[in-house]
Structure 1
């Protein structure tokens, strides 16, 4: 799965678009949360250049040499960790050769010390079809602003649904329903309880502390779920696709506007009986909103199917 892993781990990883309004999706503007350190600013500036550049040797050099540390690691769901600058260079070269049209425009950047979360609007043309999709990228930076560790979160279902109409849409038909939930559940700021709820696949415990906060994120498009029943149904659909889930707390980013929690570990599914790397990011904003970021592709397709899908690119 080397070719698949290279493409899967790097087509969009960590690049950003220019911060001008012209580079943003229609009707949006870049939002920056937290105090931007000098290292974070250096990273952001390099990312902005990469996202706006035409594909060519200069773009690859910027990505491999300026954005990443010599000993960087790079990961996405169900992929192997790419280690070191040389491997990252090979990966991005293969990715941009396959999909040279890739562009990224940042929509929301959150900074907490040397950790940056990069929310983005991604665009790419796949077999003549223009595709856009949201993503969030979590990076840990060195003092010089180069990435030491990068994780990416976006739903690759958006890439392949147009190439394979039979590919399952995991959250199709999920709607708000009536009903209340007992108890207070696993609060976001209690990582032990929250991790236990994720690992137990306890939808009610995860939803209860969110109250009336609307849920947005993966599989919902521009929609949202506003009732506890709708949010529980959403998580039950997620949990119904897996046979086990084991995650532990990853990075936490806190700003005046929101708290972000990363959950990182493994998942098994009927088509993936061996533990497969997986992760989730939760965002809780101060205005009572809840957003989830994760990739459904490894939940709806086994390794052979994923390899087949990448072969269609």
Structure 2
């Protein structure tokens, strides 16, 4: 016989008591049902909060992915702009190279190595980058091309810098050579003067014999300023035998000029730097001379040259 459990329910209003009888199995079943209900409710609550957390995480991730996509789009736009800048830089470098060539043609200065162009020996101008490529498919391709062209432009800019440095050095050398080359009369054109003897064979005014005259003689009034015919440095200023008081200017590049029969008082001394047109002495009649004049000589690498070839004015 199964044991039963009775529950007596009493009423405070005086109503008859009620008795409920049930088996232990029913109580166990009811308890199990209560536990199951609480378990299900607990799982639902847990799942709800877990779902809320997952949803929040997914929302945050969606925001992060959205920001990353925006950043990628911005970077792709920057890549395209950078590609355009590379193309622009290449155009400017080519323009500078053309400008250098024009200057060399005008100044008649050849490049030391014509076989090497701005992009190296045998190098050709790289094609322009296509900045409008769809970067979703061509991202790596464009980046690789950009990297290659940056290296090429770096090499080209170094070559161009070297080319301009070489051109500047050549122009400075040419300017220095022109400034150091005798190019004017040693007596101003505004002064009344005349040529008394040219470079070449003549009849000696002292012996009457035929001799080779290695100078260019210009006569003028005593004390007329004698001008340096080119930039240089005074290397001698003093008395020199039959030439009388003489001044010598070294112009560099193997060129020297000599001015003889000057007055004793020089306007410049040894070691002074002089410029073309600058007075350096006064016309005199010292040494073996027949009258006031300047005995003007030009020496190229130690050999006398015809001074008239170096008078452009």
Q: TM-score, normalised by structure 1?
A: 0.20
Structure whose alpha-carbon radius of gyration is higher? 2
Specify which structure has the bigger relative contact order, considering alpha-carbon pairs within 8 angstroms and separated by 6 or more residues: 1
Looking at secondary structure, tell me which structure has more strand per residue.
Answer: 1
Q: Which has the higher helix share?
A: 2
